[in-house]
Structure 1
Amino acid sequence: MEITDPVMVRSLVRDEAATYLAPFLHDDHSVGEAAELLHLSLSKVHYWVRSLYDAGLLEVVAETRRKGRSIKRYQAIATEFVVPAEVLPSGHFERVMRRSNAEMTEALVAAAPEWVLAGDFRIHASSPTRGTQDRVQRASADRGDVTHQSMWMVRISEEEARELAAALNALRDRWIARSKDESDLTPYQVSVALAPMPD
Structure 2
Amino acid sequence: MSHEVMNGHAPRFDATSGEFFVRDPEKLKVLAHPIRMKILKQAQLGEVSAKEAARDLEEPIGKVSYHVRVLADAGLLELTRQTPRRGAIESHYRATVSMHLDDATWQAVGHDVRRLMLAAAAKEWSADLHAAVETGGFELDEALLANAHFGADAEGLVELRAALDAHYRRLLEIEASIAARMENDPDAEITEVNVGLAFYEGANTPAANAPFFARSGGETYPLIPEYIEDQ
Normalised by the length of structure 1, the TM-score is 0.49
- Highest Rg: 1 or 2? 1
Q: Which has the higher contact order (CA 8 A, sep 6+)?
A: 2
Normalised by the length of structure 2, the TM-score is 0.44
